[in-house]
Amino acid sequence: MKYRRLGKTGWNVSELGHGMWGMGGWSGSDDDESMKALHLSVESGINFFDTAWVYGNGRSEKLLGQLVKDFPEKKLYISTKIPPKNFKWPMEPTFTLEETFSSSHIKEYVQKSLKNLGVAQIDLVLLHGWDDIWAKDEQWQKTVLELKQSGLINAFGLSIDRWEPNNAISAINTGLIDAVEVIYNIFDQAPEDKLFAVCRNMDVGVIARVPFDEGTLTEALTIKSKWPEGDWRNLYFGPENLQPSLDHLKSLKADLPAGTNIPELALQFILSQPAVSTTIPGMRKTENIKKNIIAMEKGKLSDQMIQNLRKHRWDRKPTSWSG
């Protein structure tokens, strides 16, 4: 396993982290299978785990709590997220901080997550969404300092809303942000425009999420793809997005040698970017962990390949279905 520094936290986190949304909330999740996958991750040297209260309303956090208990001798970095009080995504500039991340709400959910995780301190707490119009509001700033002083959290950051990578830059510039989580993959290259430079200047760790565009870059989708009722992917890969996703994948593949391993290329693309500290594919199955470790070990792509992939950038605008 290879490790990188997570910004000013100074932690050495594995380049391949473990995303835990699917095992909390997607259909087809099986806790025994998820625990086996998590164990394999730890045994392989993965030490960064990304969860959230909302991933199964505590289910994913409880799995992570069990994992930490199963490996008392290992330092496993826990990253979890506080949902907005109104439980609405994406954030709207019309929402107030009181409606989303009031001080009492943040503190209440830190306590809930501590309980689910069964730990006395959470390594990294992220707000699960953000609008930069709140950056100068002292309410959240004071809350962060209080939570750190009380020892309940070690580091604090923001999970930046989908397809809005610049919508946290003012908050980062306050100096109170230790790490951000942002969508970055072969399609979503926009964090390279501004965000990564700001993170580097402010020594903020970057957690690159959704490396496979929720599944497009795993090549598992077809035009008939549908999931059981309640699975969020029915919304994301609905009529407006499924065909365009398949079209973008097709055009990517047409530009690459036949037989190119797309998921492997996707992870290598992300890890070729020096601003990225870790990437966190969702992995419920041990076979996917093994494949993703191979990709991580292959390391950076050639400059020529990166240039080729630049053509496949796909800028999208947040919508009601993008979450």
Ligand X SMILES: NC(=O)c1ccc[n+]([C@@H]2O[C@H](COP(=O)([O-])OP(=O)(O)OC[C@H]3O[C@@H](n4cnc5c(N)ncnc54)[C@H](OP(=O)(O)O)[C@@H]3O)[C@@H](O)[C@H]2O)c1
> Considering the rule CB under 6 A, would residue 56 count as an interface residue with ligand X?
no
Contact between 58 and ligand X by CB under 6 A: the answer reads no
Contact between 280 and ligand X by CB under 6 A: the answer reads yes
By CB under 6 A, tell whether 209 contacts ligand X. Answer: yes
Asked if 211 touches ligand X (CB under 6 A), the answer is yes
| Rounded Cα gap, residues 17 and 278, in angstroms | 6
The one segment of 141-149, 171-179, 285-293, 310-318 that binds ligand X by CB under 6 A: 285-293
CA distances, 29 to each of 17, 20, 33, 228, 275 (Å): 19, 11, 8, 12, 32
- In one letter, which amino acid is 25? G
Q: How far is the CB of 266 from ligand X (least distance, A)?
A: 8
> Interface mask (CB under 6 A) for ligand X, residues 158-177, using x and -?
-x------------------
- 41 forms part of the interface with ligand X (CB under 6 A): no
283 part of the interface to ligand X, by CB under 6 A = yes
Residue nearest to ligand X (CB): 282
Tell me the window of 101-109, 140-148, 172-180, 207-215 that interacts with ligand X (CB under 6 A): 207-215
Among 50, 123, 164, 178, binds ligand X (CB under 6 A): 50
Q: Which is nearer to ligand X, 38 or 146 (CB)?
A: 38
21 binds ligand X (CB under 6 A): yes
| Min separation Cβ 262 and ligand X, Å | 9
User: Among 56, 83, 205, 215, which residue sits at the site for ligand X (rule: CB under 6 A)?
Assistant: 215
- Binding flag, residue 187, ligand X (CB under 6 A): no
| Residue 236 beta carbon to ligand X: minimum distance, rounded to whole angstroms | 9
Per CB under 6 A, which region of 70-78, 98-106, 194-202, 279-287 contacts ligand X? 279-287
Rounded to whole angstroms, the Cα distance separating 174 from 99 reads 22
Range in contact with ligand X (rule: CB under 6 A) among 131-139, 144-152, 247-255, 280-288: 280-288
SS (H, E, C) the chain: CCEEECHHHCCEEECECEECCHHHHCCCCCHHHHHHHHHHHHHCCCCEEECCCCCCCCHHHHHHHHHHHHCCCCCCEEEEEECCCCCCCCCCCCCCHHHHCCHHHHHHHHHHHHHHHCCCCEEEEEEECCCHHHCCCHHHHHHHHHHHHHCCEEEEEEECCCCCCCCCHHHHCCCCCCEEEEECCCCCCHHHCCHHHHHHHHCCEEEEECCCHHHHHHCCCCCCCCCCCCCCHHHHCCCCCHHHHHHHHHHHHHCCCCCCCHHHHHHHHHHCCCCCCEECCECCCHHHHHHHHHHHHHCCCCHHHHHHHHCCCCCCCCCCCCC
Q: Which of residues 61-100 bind ligand X (CB under 6 A)?
A: none
Instruction: Pick the binder of ligand X from 15, 178, 181, 188 (CB under 6 A).
Output: 181
Least spacing, CB of residue 232 vs ligand X, in Å: 9
Q: How far apart are CA 29 and CA 81, in angstroms?
A: 20
- In the complex, the residues that contact ligand X under the rule CB under 6 A are 19-22, 50, 128, 159, 181, 209-215, 218, 263, 280-285, 288, 291-292
